A and B are shown apart, each in its own frame.
Chain A
């Protein structure tokens, strides 16, 4: 089957390695999901879309624990990334998070709750207004979104809410990497009797106050979220700050 490409896409393809260029397409969801057109309408309406192998979404093909499915989005092969939106077609709450890589590479690792087998996708908007879409299927045996958070039963997290721990790596194979964990139940609101209670915004800034990345998180992000970022130049501490949907704010320094 052939997918027709516009002139712009053909020009783009000329700049890519042949294998990747061959995988570029503007129509025909490579993941063959019945909900693709709905997703496109909801998130990418009216803008040009390109299924682009340079948007790498890494996740296990079978999720052993649907409450904590690791997802890594790497769009560093594209330039001029303005925004990345991550969604899962068949999740009861589709939108997982959005991130805006300002002074950091377009790379983010996190974990997500999935209710059933679904594509997990990243749509990457570049400065020219084109959405570059990548994704992968994750098979699961369900339960991630309608199962209560582990914290639900205990009161301990209330004292530790928004407690941040983290580290940066300045040498070795992962130089430039930053990892952060924050204590939060991330309740979806889909469990009877437990209202939605989740982190909404996290900002990462360098020592000079320059923003590295802004992340908007939604209910499907896993309990006690862990984020992995990659810094272009790792110098100095990073300040992480943000708040949840109940207005609980946090600010923490992640030393280098």
Chain B
């Protein structure tokens, strides 16, 4: 027993030594005046502190436009410092693409500037923000210290907007959540896809409507076919110069929803569905096994309802 305690203490000490709570954010230039912080294609953990998400910023004529603020106060603060090392311009606006915690819990570090989101995203953050934050405290530990929900104060709607002297096109879609904002920056040719597109990582589905998501991917792919398109920045995973993340996300969702329907139709129980192996096509995709498990919980009950002939 005594030995066990010693080993545990060493583990704790080791952990403390390693975690200086520095996300080591490095701005990667993805186009002229456009930069991104690329997160790991992992699950939330006390090792990565929730740095599993892509955030970005545009250096516009009169200021900086920030797209998503990361998973914690510390992330937001470090992000702001990293932006300041690229440009001396002030932050003009922070945009939250959707109401998932890794995309808005850094807002606190930008409390002195306007923060904006679609109306339904604002409602979602107001309703679920605290529960999400609590969850991240459990998964990411002390990286979250001091993090509180900072609601976006401004409402965005679809269309052309002028921010800090930059013309942006806002495309309001849904499917990953009830409201998913895609930001198109015509000046650089960058499409900020938010979590409608995942690259090299299994998509997450806690608030997904798969049918809507697939429709949204059609529209998103259309944006990549427009003249002037240069870069697609997915919500998770590396940016690309083509629509590959869209196709990947579509392939996963199509398989996943089909598999849920077929399993329910065949009379499988949720444990039977959980025990199924992943198809070879997806088996090596990062976090595929854990996202599949979660998605069974999110999506199988609806498929089951239909197979059992229940009213939704």
Contact = CB atoms under 8 A, between A and B. Distances in A.
Interface in A15-64: 58-60, 62, 64
A70 B269 contact: yes
Contacts of B13: none
A204 B270 CA distance: 21
Classify chain B's interface size.
20 to 34
B270 A70 contact: yes
A249 B266 CA distance: 30
A72 interface: yes
Interface residues of A, number: 29
A64 B135 contact: no
Interface string B131-164: 0000100100000000000000000000000000
Contacts of A160: 311
A166 interface: yes
Contacts of B305: 165, 181
B268 interface: yes
Nearest to A176: B267
A70 B271 CA distance: 6
Contact of A111 (B267, B270, B294, B309): B270
A64 B269 contact: no
Interface in A162-176: 163, 165-167, 169, 172-174
A141 interface: yes
B274 interface: yes
B308 A64 contact: no
State the majority secondary structure of interface residues on B: helix
Contacts of B275: 58
A179 B269 contact: yes
Given A64-B297, A70-B274, A141-B135, A172 B267 contact: yes
B310 interface: yes
Given A60-B293, A64-B293, A72 B267 contact: no
B79 to A, nearest CB: 27
Contact of B266 (A72, A174, A181): A174
Contacts of B294: 64
17 contacts: A68-B270, A68-B297, A70-B274, A71-B271, A109-B269, A109-B270, A109-B271, A141-B138, A165-B309, A166-B308, A167-B307, A167-B309, A169-B266, A169-B267, A172-B267, A179-B267, A183-B310
Please give me the 9 A-B residue pairs with the lowest Cβ-Cβ distance, nearest first: A165-B310, A70-B270, A174-B267, A169-B267, A109-B269, A228-B269, A165-B308, A177-B267, A64-B297
